[in-house]
Amino acid sequence: MTRIRLNDVLLVVAPIFLALFFTTVILLAVGASPWDAYRNILAGAFESPEKIADVVAACVPLVLCGVGMCITFTAGQWNVGVEGQIILGALFATWVARNLLWPQAPVLTLMLLAGMLGGALWGVIAALLKIYGNVHEIFGGLGLNYVAQGLAIWLIFNPWRPADGATMSGTDPFPDPAWMPRLAHLRVSPLAVILALLAVVVVYFLLRGTRWGLELRAMGKNFRSAYLLGVPSTPRLLTAFAACGALAGLAGAIRCSARYGRMIPDIAGGQGYLSLLVALLAVSRPQWVPFIAFFFAAVGVGSPRLELNMHLDSSLGGVLRASMVLAVMMVAGLRMLLNQRRARAAGETPSQDVVESGDAAG
């Protein structure tokens, strides 16, 4: 038993050391000091309250999209269309901000709800393409991402262009009531953080403590068997994609309201694809998403220091995150092999004991 527990601990810790080893080899190959590189990343992320606030702010959309993807992953679906769902959420929220000149509380509430609606609709479209068009969710999601990006650019450069001309900086700034309140002078919104943590709690209990979550897990284990056992697969797929899209749309509404105060062409900023890695590392467990998202956000905020202080490309932070995912997948494969060996050993031992006891009786 002690040996098994030690193996489990090693399998959890191993991906971290593998990722650091891989990144260290790259740093040594280019003649840089690994110690200085890691120290600069940490300093760039945590050297001041402003930097820590930036890390927390960058963490919010990753948490929302990550827990959303835990829903579709549980159902066995790769919702790669999260990037487009972020954009649609931001577009719906922008429409509210531009057209409803209300006080802050109602306008922010409607912006967040509109963002969730936009993301949910885009997610449902991906599900409908899969169910009725036989389009794999990966290809359908990627296609919808490009459509959403094109729609955003058209709106920004045509109906929503500023009076002095359209630019890549986006629309005119939102009216003051449409700005999500921030914490003092820091670029983080307490309301956004609360919503992200609330999403983690809600999704955790939905997946672990409801019939809906149980049926999604059954579909993820064996889709056809779940269908034959009476699980309503079509409604469950639609609700899973809608729930994931709603959380991604909420992330889009928060990014345009709390971070930029306007709609910009690159409002998603690759957060949808990055949250895919977060959900993969979390193994569809929402409770782990905030910790993994915080690590990714810290690396993203701290990496520019590599270029400023060490003349290294800041994309090295992306290498560190990608190597972490690769290491986790390698260790997961090793874990699967070990579990299979344990299962075979457990199945063989009783039969050998029976044979030996029979021989002794004879």
Return the minimum-mean-pLDDT range out of 162-171, 220-229, 276-285. 162-171
| 341 or 354, which is more confident | 341
For 57-78, the pLDDT digits (tens) are 999 999 999 999 999 999 999 9
> How far is Cα 67 from Cα 40, in angstroms, rounded to an integer?
30
> How far is Cα 167 from Cα 164, in angstroms, rounded to an integer?
9
Task: Look at residue 158 and tell me whether its pLDDT is greater than 80.
Answer: yes
Supply the angle between the helices 316-361 and 34-46 in degrees, to the nearest 10: 110
Nearest alpha-carbon partner for 196 in 50, 56, 94: 56
Nearest alpha-carbon partner for 262 in 152, 188, 186, 104: 152
Task: Look at residue 348 and tell me whether its pLDDT is greater than 60.
Answer: no
| Stretch 186-208: mean pLDDT | 96
Which residue matches tokens 């068009």?
Answer: 133
| Stretch 253-271: mean pLDDT | 95
Do 74 and 320 touch, CB atoms closer than 8 A? no
Return the pLDDT at 353.
41
Return the pLDDT at 355.
37
Angle at 322 between CA 321 and CA 327, to 5 degrees: 100
| Stretch 277-289: mean pLDDT | 89
For 33-49, the pLDDT digits (tens) are 888 988 999 999 999 99
For 115-155, the pLDDT digits (tens) are 999 999 999 999 999 999 999 999 999 999 999 999 999 99
> How far is Cα 274 from Cα 277, in angstroms, rounded to an integer?
5
* Alpha-helical regions (H) of 134-232: 137-157, 190-209, 211-221, 223-228
Q: CATH for 52-302?
A: 1.10.3470
Do 82 and 120 touch, CB atoms closer than 8 A? no
> How far is Cα 25 from Cα 322, in angstroms, rounded to an integer?
15
Task: Look at residue 358 and tell me whether its pLDDT is greater than 90.
Answer: no
Quote the tokens at residue 267: 């409002």
Return the pLDDT at 272.
93
Task: Look at residue 190 and tell me whether its pLDDT is greater than 60.
Answer: yes
Average pLDDT, the chain: 88
Which residue matches tokens 């797929």?
Answer: 237
**Confidence (pTM):** 0.88
Return the pLDDT at 150.
96
Task: Look at residue 357 and tell me whether its pLDDT is greater than 70.
Answer: no
Return the pLDDT at 208.
92
Task: Look at residue 256 and tell me whether its pLDDT is greater than 60.
Answer: yes
DSSP string, 26-92: HHHHTT--HHHHHHHHHHHHHSSHHHHHHHHHHHHHHHHHHHHHHHHHHTT---TTHHHHHHHHHHH
| Stretch 304-328: mean pLDDT | 79
| Stretch 186-199: mean pLDDT | 96
Return the pLDDT at 185.
87
Percent of the chain exceeding pLDDT 90 equals: 62
Task: Look at residue 268 and tell me whether its pLDDT is greater than 60.
Answer: yes
